[in-house]
Amino acid sequence: MSESTRRDFLVKAAQGTALAATGGLVWWFLLQNQARATPFAIRPPGAGTEAEFNALCIKCGLCLPACPYGTLKLAAAGESIPIGTPYFLPRDVPCYMCPDIPCKVACPTGALDPELTDIHQASMGLAVIDIESCLSWQGLRCEVCHRDCPVTNKAITVVHHPRKTSKHAVFVPLVHSEHCTGCGICEKVCPTDVPAIRIVQADLVQGKMGAHYRLGWTIDTPITQEFVPAQEAGPVRPGVDTTGAGVDYLND
């Protein structure tokens, strides 16, 4: 190989690499933005985490005609939801929780988990209430969400709540995340102009207490508990024995 052809080859290789690297970076940036941008999409039942769902969904739209209520839409290009993936807007058409989960059956890739057999185990999202616009919280006996909730008296209960300084109480809806499937019927039926109860992806609003908190006063808490240390304990002064009895003296 002569000097010039070797040089040509090296230049060609460098040009190719540069082109691939530049193009690849732009493409990757696009993917990162598109696929990760929206945590707001409410997915059909059986969808896993957004990362898992976005990887497995092949954008075929087979779940759309499978749904007898026309709940599902495919995200069109340019929408704020990852392109070509199914989602639904509960205020338009909620999920009516078919016991045979036909959308999941139609899904060919497993993006809607085939292991999901009980629609009550679905977690499409979580209902959250804006107490500033909720009629019940203003003292009106609305409770429409509670009465239309398909997970009857489990996902939404009505509890009484003191009404400011008055001796009367108000009856307010309370969502229980362990039962709420995120079907969105509550959002659909809420009579306010803009729904006061809405479905959001649960991890956007849900906190986590930490295992070291002991709710000694609750009925189902065992009386004798194992000591669970705080995951992020604060700094301890040198010389203080943290293993002995002294630290947990309040519960001794």
Partner 1 sequence: MPATLGGKLRVWRFLMARRAVQAGLLLLFFGSLHWGWNLFGRPLLVGNYSASEVLGLVPLADPFAVLQTVLTGYFPTTEVLVGAGLILLFYGVVGGRTWCAWVCPMNLVTDAAAWLRKRIKVRDLVNVTRNVRYGVLALTLVLSALAGVAAFEWVSPISMLHRELLFGAGIGWAAVLGVFLFDVLVLRDGWCGHLCPLGAFYAVLGERTAQVRVAFVDERCSRCGECVRVCPEPQVLNFKKAAEAGMVASGECINCGSCIPVCPEDALRFDWRHRIVAARRAGDPGLEKSQVPPQRRVA
Instruction: Count other Cβ atoms within 10 Å, centred on residue 43.
Output: 28
Told to check if 28 binds partner 1 by CB under 8 A, we report yes
Q: Is there a contact between 96 and 185 (Cβ–Cβ < 8 Å)?
A: yes
119 secondary structure, DSSP code: G
Residues 6+ apart with CB under 8 A from 221: 214, 215
**Minimum gap (Å) between residue 185 Cβ and partner 1:** 25
**Which segment (14-22, 96-104, 189-197, 223-231) binds partner 1 by CB under 8 A?**
14-22
Among 10, 18, 30, 140, binds partner 1 (CB under 8 A): 30
**Which segment (68-76, 120-128, 148-156, 174-182) binds partner 1 by CB under 8 A?**
68-76
Listed as own residue / partner, the contacts of 48-54 with beta carbons closer than 8 Å and 24 or more positions apart are 48/111, 48/113, 50/201, 52/111, 53/85, 53/111, 54/82, 54/85
**Which segment (59-67, 132-140, 167-175, 221-229) binds partner 1 by CB under 8 A?**
59-67
Told to check if 211 binds partner 1 by CB under 8 A, we report no
**Which segment (71-79, 186-194, 202-210, 243-251) binds partner 1 by CB under 8 A?**
71-79
Among 10, 13, 14, 55, binds partner 1 (CB under 8 A): 55
Told to check if 54 binds partner 1 by CB under 8 A, we report yes
- Strand, helix or coil for residue 172: strand
**Which segment (27-35, 91-99, 207-215, 231-239) binds partner 1 by CB under 8 A?**
27-35
SS3 of 44-85: the string is CCCECCHHHHHHHCCCCCCHHHHCCCCCCEECCCCCCCCCCC
Q: How far apart are CA 209 and CA 223, in angstroms?
A: 20
Among 44, 46, 82, 173, binds partner 1 (CB under 8 A): 82
Instruction: Count other Cβ atoms within 10 Å, centred on residue 94.
Output: 24
Among 10, 18, 23, 160, binds partner 1 (CB under 8 A): 23
Q: Which of residues 104-163 bind partner 1 (CB under 8 A)?
A: 106, 108-111, 114
Supply 155's token pair: 């996902």
57 vs 196 by CB, closer to partner 1: 57
Q: How far apart are CA 99 and CA 116, in angstroms?
A: 11
Q: Considering CB under 8 A, how many residues would be counted as binding partner 1? A: 39
Q: How far apart are CA 37 and CA 56, in angstroms?
A: 17
Among 19, 37, 169, 230, binds partner 1 (CB under 8 A): 19
Contact residues for partner 1, defined by CB under 8 A: 16, 19-20, 23-24, 27-28, 30-32, 34-35, 51-52, 54-56, 58-62, 64-65, 73-74, 76-79, 82-84, 106, 108-111, 114
